[in-house]
Amino acid sequence: MRYISTRGGMEPQPFSETLLEGLAPDGGLAVPEQLPQVDPQTLERWRALTYPQLAAEVIGLFATDIAREDLARMTADAYADFPDEVVPLRSIGDGITLVGLSEGPTLAFKDMAMQFLGQALEHVLEQKDRVLNIVGATSGDTGSAAEHALRGKERVAVFMLSPQGRMSTFQRAQMYSLDDENVHNIAVEGVFDDCQNLVKKLAGDIDFKRANNIGAVNSINLGRIAAQAVYYFWAWLRVTDAVEPEYREGFEVSFTVPSGNFGNILSGFYAKSVGVPIRRLVLAANENNVLDEFFRTGVYRPRSASHTFATSSPSMDISKASNLERFIFELLGRDAGGVVGAWSQLDAQSFFDFSALQPRFEAEFGIVSGMSTHTDRLETIRSVYEGSGEIIDPHTADGVKVAREHLEQDVPMLVLETAKPQKFAETIAEAIGVELEYSDEVRRMLDAPQHVTEMADDEAALRAFVQKHALR
C-alpha cells in the first residue's frame, strides 16, 4: 500500500513516510493509491478479537510497511490504560446507541487515534534515527490528546496552537498545565481557522519544513484517519453480535458524527469504502454549519474568522475543514486536477459550487447532514438525561439531535461520543442543573499553574518560536 497526494504532485510513498510528512509537498493530503477491501468472511473472523487486536488488523490494511507484530505491540500499548472493552456501546433509547470513545487519558475521542499515533511515531523515528517537531492546531481536544500521547518522548517536540479564549476551562487546563520540556503551548489571537492557517503556511514551506523536521498530528495525518476507522469496524461487530449469524452479512447500520474538521467522518467513509456495511454517515454541525451547507446544497463557502461563532460545542468551531479535500478527491473520481481547480475557484471567489454533484452525496456515498444550536444542545442533554440517566457532552448532544432527524426503521443508529461531560461542566449545569464532580486528580489539574505562550496571528513570530525550540 502506497500513498499519493490529492493534488497529484507527490511520488507514491509508504505509510510510515506519510506519518512524518503531514501535508504532501504539493500542499495536498496523502491518500491511498487504492483503498483496501475487506470481505464479509474476514469481518466475521475479526468478531472474536479484542479492540487492540482488531486495531492491528484494520490499521495493518493501511500500514503495510510496518510489521504486523510491531503493529500488535503498538496497539496493545496504546490501549493498555483504557477499560478492557476500550470502546463500550450504550443505548440511550429511541433506537440510538452511543459509541463510547472517551475512555482515554484526556476524556475525548481524539485519544483513540493519538495514543496509537504516539506509539507509531516513536517506532518510525527510532527506525529512521530522526526527530520530529509537531506543529499543530486545536479547537479543543486534539491538542490535549496529542500532548498527552507525546509528552516526554525524546524524539518528538510538540508546538500546539490554540485560539485564545475559545476553549473550555477544562480544555485549557488539560493542555496548559503540562510542563514537559517537549511540549509548547501557543495561544493565538484569533479563531481555530487562524491557527490552522498558520500551521498550513509553515507546512507548505518545504525548505522550512525540512530544515526544522516539521510534522503534523492533526486530522490531516493519515495515521489518525486509519486509527479512527477501527471503531467503525468495532461498533458494527458489536451491534451485529445480537444478529443471527445467517443475517449478519450486509447488515447495515448508520453512524452520526459530530464534525468540525471532517476527519472523524472521513474515517467512517473509508471504513464504509473498505467493507463495513454502513448505510448512512450523518454529519452533525453546530452553528458553524459550513459543512452542513455543503452537504445539503453542494456549495462550499468557508467563513472568515470574524464570522466563525464561539459556541458551547467549541471543538466544532471550525469553518475550513481540512479533510474535506480527501472527500472531494473521491467525489471527482480521484482527479487531482479537479481538486486543484476547486481550491483555485475557492481562492478566487470564496466558494465553489458542486451543486450538480450534490445528489451523489447520499446516493453514492451515503452522507447526509444537519445542524444543532445552543438551545438544541441544552434540550438534547436534558432529554437524554431524563430518558436514560446518561449525561452527554455538548458535542455528542449535537450528534444526538441530528441523529434523531435521520432515524430509519430497522437500521440501528450509532452516535459517536465526543468527550466526557466533565470537560464542559458549565453547559451541563445550564442544561440539567447538575454540578459534575471532579476527581482529586482533575481538581489538581484545574488548579495547577498553566504554561502557555500568547502570540499574535503572526507567521513570522511563529517561525521564530519554532526555530528557537525545535529539536535538531
Task: Work out whether strand 214-215 and strand 253-258 pair parallel, antiparallel, or are unpaired.
Answer: unpaired
For residue 139, which of 319, 373, 317, 324 has the smallest C-alpha distance? 317
Q: What is the pLDDT of residues 129-165, one digit of tens each?
A: 999 999 999 987 888 999 999 999 999 999 999 999 8
pLDDT at 73 over 90: yes
Q: What is the pLDDT of residues 328-384, one digit of tens each?
A: 999 999 999 999 999 999 999 999 999 999 999 999 999 999 999 999 999 999 999
Per-residue pLDDT at 336? 98
Per-residue pLDDT at 84? 92
Q: What is the DSSP string of 132-196?
A: EEEEEE-SSHHHHHHHHHHTT-TTEEEEEEEETT-S-HHHHHHHHT---TTEEEEEESS-HHHHH
Per-residue pLDDT at 218? 76
Q: Cβ of 120: how many Cβ atoms within 10 Å?
A: 27
Q: How confident is the model at residue 323 (pLDDT cuts 50, 70, 90)?
A: very high
Domain boundaries, the chain: 89-106+225-432
Mean local confidence (pLDDT), 278-294: 98
Do residues 258 and 313 make contact, with C-beta atoms less than 8 angstroms apart? yes
Mean local confidence (pLDDT), 34-47: 97
Q: Cell for 273? A: 469504502
Q: How confident is the model at residue 21 (pLDDT cuts 50, 70, 90)?
A: confident
User: Cα separation of 312 and 307, whole Å?
Assistant: 16
Give me the active site residues, please: 110
Q: How confident is the model at residue 180 (pLDDT cuts 50, 70, 90)?
A: very high
User: Cα separation of 91 and 248, whole Å?
Assistant: 20
Instruction: Provide the whole-model pTM.
Output: 0.92
pLDDT at 71 over 80: yes
Query: How many alpha carbons fall within 13 Å on the CB side of residue 290?
Result: 26
pLDDT at 216 over 90: no
Q: How confident is the model at residue 253 (pLDDT cuts 50, 70, 90)?
A: very high
For residue 301, give the amino acid letter. Answer: R
User: Cα separation of 282 and 115, whole Å?
Assistant: 26
User: Cα separation of 202 and 213, whole Å?
Assistant: 11
- At the topology level, CATH places domain 89-106+225-432 in Rossmann fold (3.40.50)
Q: How confident is the model at residue 22 (pLDDT cuts 50, 70, 90)?
A: confident
Q: What is the pLDDT of residues 110-133, one digit of tens each?
A: 999 999 999 999 999 999 999 999
Per-residue pLDDT at 217? 82
User: Cα separation of 303 and 224, whole Å?
Assistant: 26
Q: How far is CA 307 from CA 30, 317, 319, 376, in A?
A: 30, 11, 9, 21
State the chain's mean pLDDT as an integer: 95
Per-residue pLDDT at 241? 98
Do residues 292 and 370 make contact, with C-beta atoms less than 8 angstroms apart? yes
pLDDT at 90 over 80: yes
